[in-house]
Amino acid sequence: MLEIRPGEVAGADLIVVPVYDDRVFAAGEAYVPDRDASSRILDAHEFTGAHGQTLFLQTPDGPTPEVLLIGLGDEVDAESLRRAAGRVTQTVRGYTTVATTLHQVDIEGAVGAVVLGTVLGAYSFDEYKSDPKRSKFASLVLAGGDDLEGQIAEAEAVASGVVLARDLVNRPAADKPPAAIADIASGLSRRVDVTVYDEDAIREAGFGGLMAVNAGADRPARMVVMRYTPDGATRTVAFVGKGIVFDSGGLSIKPVSGMETMKTDMAGAAAVMGAVKAIADLGLLVNVIGITPLTENLISGSAQRPGDVMRAYNGKTIEVLNTDAEGRLVLADGLALATEYEPDLIVDIATLTGACKVALGPLIGGLFASDDDAADTVIAAAMAAGEKMWRMPLESEYASLIESDIADMKNIGGRWGGAITAGLILAEFVDDTPWVHLDVAGPARADKAEHYITKGGTGFGVRTLIEVARSLA
Coil vs helix vs strand at 314: coil
Binders of ligand BES in range 243-282 (CB under 6 A): 247, 265
> Which partner from the list Zn ion, ligand BES, none does 387 bind, CB cut-off 5 to 8 Å by kind?
none
> CA quadruple 319, 367, 259, 214: dihedral positive or negative?
negative
Q: Of 254, 391, 455, 470, which is the active-site residue?
A: 254
Answer for which of 418, 423, 434, 443 binds ligand BES (CB under 6 A) is 418
- Options 151, 351, 433, 458; binder of ligand BES; rule CB under 6 A: 351
Q: Which of 28, 49, 177, 327 binds Zn ion (CB under 5 A)?
A: 327
Q: Note whether 61 and 33 are within 8 A (CB).
A: yes
Q: Pick from Zn ion, ligand BES, none: which does 465 bind, CB < 5 to 8 A by kind? A: none
Q: What share of the chain is helix, strand, coil (3-state, %, to 5)?
A: 40, 20, 40
CB-side neighbour CA atoms (13 Å) of 99: 23
Distance from C-alpha of 156 to C-alpha of 142, rounded to nearest angstrom: 14
- Rounded distance, CA 206 to CA 426, Å? 17
Helices 149-170 and 110-121 cross at an angle (nearest 10°) of 30
319 near ligand BES, rule: CB under 6 A: no
The distance of closest approach from Cβ of residue 408 to Zn ion in the complex, given in angstroms and rounded to an integer, is 21
| Stretch of residues binding ligand BES (CB under 6 A), selected from 71-79, 197-205, 336-344, 349-357 | 349-357
Question: CB of residue 297 vs ligand BES: minimum separation in angstroms?
Answer: 7
Task: Output 81 or 402, the one with its CB closest to ligand BES.
Answer: 402
Nearest approach, Cβ of residue 329 and ligand BES (Å): 10
Assess whether 328 carries a catalytic annotation. Answer: yes
Quote the least distance from Cβ 307 to ligand BES, whole Å.
Answer: 14
Q: Which range binds ligand BES by CB under 6 A, 158-166, 276-284, 317-325, 389-397? A: 317-325
Residue from 156, 247, 296, 333 binding Zn ion (CB under 5 A) = 247
Q: Which residues pair with 17 in a beta bridge?
A: 69
Q: How far is CA 30 from CA 8, 15, 101, in A?
A: 14, 11, 11
Chain centre distance of CA 159: 10
129 is catalytic: no
Q: Could you list the beta-strand ranges (E) of 221-335.
A: 222-228, 236-241, 243-247, 287-297, 308-311, 317-320
Q: Which of 66, 79, 326, 333 binds ligand BES (CB under 6 A)?
A: 326
List 353, 377, 458, 464, residue binding ligand BES (CB under 6 A) = 353
Backbone torsions φ then ψ of 406, nearest 5 degrees: -125, -10
Q: In whole angstroms, how close is the CB of 249 to Zn ion at the nearest point?
A: 5
CA 198 to chain centre: 26
State which residue, 265 or 281, has the beta carbon closest to Zn ion.
265
Which of 71, 117, 327, 417 lies at the binding interface for ligand BES (CB under 6 A)?
327
Catalytic-role residue among 263, 328, 445, 463: 328
108: left (phi over 0), alpha (psi -120 to 50) or beta: beta
Binding range to Zn ion, per CB under 5 A, among 45-53, 83-91, 306-314, 322-330 = 322-330
Distance CA 135, CA 121 (A): 11
Nearer to ligand BES, 245 or 346 (CB): 245
Binding of Zn ion by 439 (CB under 5 A): no
N- to C-terminal Cα separation, the chain: 30
- Radius of gyration over every alpha carbon of the chain, rounded to an integer in angstroms: 24
Q: How far is CA 122 from CA 3, 79, 159, 385, 449, in A?
A: 11, 17, 11, 19, 11
CB 442 → ligand BES: shortest distance, Å?
A: 7
Of the two residues 326 and 428, which places its CB atom closer to Zn ion in the complex?
326
DSSP state, 453?
A: B
Element (H, E) at 363: none
Contact stretch for Zn ion (CB under 5 A) within 3-11, 42-50, 161-169, 240-248: 240-248
Which residues ranging from 355 to 374 are in contact with ligand BES (CB under 6 A)? 355, 357
Binding site for ligand BES (CB under 6 A): 247, 265, 322, 324-327, 351, 353-355, 357, 412, 418, 441
Catalytic residues: 254, 328
Give me the residues that bind Zn ion (CB under 5 A), please. 244, 247, 265, 324, 326-327
